[in-house]
Amino acid sequence: MESYRTLLVDAFTTEPLTGNAAGVVPDADGLSEQQMQAVARELSVSETAFLFPSEEADRKVRYFTPTQEVDLCGHATIAAHGALFDDGVIDAGSYTLETPVGVLDIDVTETGAVWMTQNAPQIFEVEFDYEEAGEALGIDPDAFRDVGADLPPAYASTGLPFLMLPVNFLQHLSSMDPDMDAVEALADKHDTEGVYVFTFDAVGRSQDSTLHGRAFVPGLGVDEDPVTGTASGACGAYLDHFAAFDDEFPERMTFEQGHFLDRPGYVGVRVDGRTVQVGGDAVVSLDGSLTVPEFEEDEIIEA
């Protein structure tokens, strides 16, 4: 058995134990897929990032939820590069990251904040049943209808697809009581990995928050993700696509999330044409080592 340095890093925050926790294994060379899945299950956070050398980029990453591998994770990307900066492995500057969805650009500021450029957006309106969505999410369907004429339900992806659902008021967002099986079925019906519900009626209006969001990804083993980089990027592209701000689209937006899970965090979002960036701070909350057993080549690791 070998031990691997393993971190828990809170992304989209400067305060430990807030934002969204990600596992980070800074040097995962030598770990098998089965071992990575076992580590992610042991850490039991929404995603764990495993970093490797790369022939195409500055480094390579693989992402695992507690139940399966996923193609992209925004907060784990921010967390991993924040940890590398904290360690002195990287300085402020521009880097590249090989991911399952392609090579992405990463920018690190002098303060250690990390910005990732996501894939070019794919956005399209979907046929939608408000009653079905209301039942799945435990919310009055009229909360969707009030804004649906201007901002319709839509498929949105910048690397990981989400169903975008705007609602009218924060009280509806905060009081949702989702049926996770029904939410998973709703996401599957629209060929997305999860559902992102948001309102412009934000908690931190005094902090210039653009909106408040909640992300549900039960199909990937994450009932509710506290603060979501991939969904935030997709939502930023969605707002641009449907001209949410008319001719005055903000240069930078701030999406708040996680308050109803006691994990508040803030995601910076920039959209310039087909270029979408999300960014934020990260702080290491746990730094240790994990002993990883060997598995038989054909052994199946079940959640």
Residues annotated as part of the active site: 47
Q: How far apart are the first and last CA of the chain?
A: 21
Compute the distance between CA of residue 179 and CA of residue 194 in angstroms, rounded to an integer: 13
Helices (H) and strands (E) in the chain, counts: 7, 18
Q: Which two tokens stand for residue 203?
A: 């908690």
Per the listing, tokens 């598995």 go with 295
The answer to whether 6 and 25 have CB atoms below 8 angstroms apart is: yes
Q: Which two tokens stand for residue 157?
A: 């992806």
The answer to whether 4 and 25 have CB atoms below 8 angstroms apart is: yes
* CB-CB neighbours of 236 under 10 Å: 30
